[in-house]
């Protein structure tokens, strides 16, 4: 048996919190791995069904979008990946990152001292007072029996000010949020099941996403390539989860990009 440290979430406690009536058939927890998304992708390639969850207390090769890296230091972060099998056509899979953000935000609002401090930034960030506390990465894995999605999220739990990988990051403990690992994992998974099943049924969660996303209604820039930066005002998200931006020349729609919100003055 492998040694399980205090900071490794206890899968038995998580399963107990989730109860019997859950889509999460299997919750595994490890102290350390390269990337929980890579691990679940390997299982997805073997045809593993929907509902498998892998949690890690540390990643040594955490991945962001576009070959960027995600810093998941030992004992201070949570890495969680979920294996899904959406029945929507591929263009709608853009929603996976968005609805995962909605689920994380809902779970954080449940434990927040002040729920209004939790916001979404399109497409894949959960913010507390503008600082990035969670990043999400969704990947498609082909299989003859039907493509799978591996959706991973990295949550900064109790990183101190000096541990933050970038100035734009923050952590739950720095923001005064309680850090109970099992409760957080069960809360995220419970909310994820709600949002995912609603999306599987309806195909779009635009109105609710727009209400919780600070990119909508903000002045922003979106970088789509190093030399392509578009300026405008967040207008909404469409049925494919793409961001609509009102620019000087009309509404433009983006499937990918890095958004920076203009500084807000209080």
Give the interface with ligand BT5 as residue ranges (CB under 6 A): 35-37, 59, 62-66, 68, 70-72, 79, 81, 124, 132, 135-137, 152-154, 156, 165-166, 169
Q: Considering the complex, what minimum distance in angstroms separates the CB of residue 24 from ligand BT5? A: 16
Q: Considering the complex, what minimum distance in angstroms separates the CB of residue 250 from ligand BT5? A: 27
Q: Considering the complex, what minimum distance in angstroms separates the CB of residue 20 from ligand BT5? A: 26
Nearer to ligand BT5, 89 or 195 (CB): 195
Q: Considering the complex, what minimum distance in angstroms separates the CB of residue 76 from ligand BT5? A: 9
Q: State the Cα torsion 184-214-255-259 to the nearest 10°.
A: -100
Nearer to ligand BT5, 63 or 148 (CB): 63
**The total number of residues written for the chain in this structure:** 266
Nearer to ligand BT5, 152 or 232 (CB): 152
Nearer to ligand BT5, 19 or 226 (CB): 226
């Amino acid at each position: 048996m492998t040694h399980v440290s205090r900071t490794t979430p206890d899968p038995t406690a998580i399963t107990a919190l989730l109860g019997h009536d859950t889509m999460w058939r299997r919750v595994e927890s490890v102290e350390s791995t390269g990337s929980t998304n890579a691990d679940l992708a390997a299982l997805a390639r073997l045809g593993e069904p929907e509902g498998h969850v892998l949690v890690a207390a540390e990643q040594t090769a955490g991945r962001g979008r576009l070959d960027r890296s995600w810093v998941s230091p030992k004992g201070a972060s949570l890495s969680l990946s979920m294996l899904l099998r959406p029945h929507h056509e591929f263009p709608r899979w853009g929603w996976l990152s968005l609805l995962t953000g909605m689920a994380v935000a809902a779970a954080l609002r449940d434990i927040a001292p002040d729920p209004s401090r939790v916001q979404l930034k399109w497409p894949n960030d959960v913010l507390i007072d503008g600082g990035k506390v969670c990043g999400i990465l969704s990947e498609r894995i082909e299989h003859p029996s039907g493509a799978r999605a591996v959706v991973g999220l990295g949550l900064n739990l109790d990183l101190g000010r000096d541990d933050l990988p970038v100035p734009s990051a923050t952590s739950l403990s720095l923001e005064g949020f309680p850090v109970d690992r099992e409760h957080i994992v069960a809360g995220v998974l419970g909310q994820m099941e709600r949002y995912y099943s609603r999306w599987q049924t309806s195909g779009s969660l635009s109105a609710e996403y727009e209400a919780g996303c600070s990119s909508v209604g903000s002045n922003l820039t979106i970088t789509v390539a190093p030399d392509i930066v578009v300026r405008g005002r967040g207008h909404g998200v469409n049925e494919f989860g793409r961001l609509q931006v009102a620019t000087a020349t009309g509404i433009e729609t983006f499937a990918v990009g890095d958004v920076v919100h203009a500084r807000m003055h209080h």
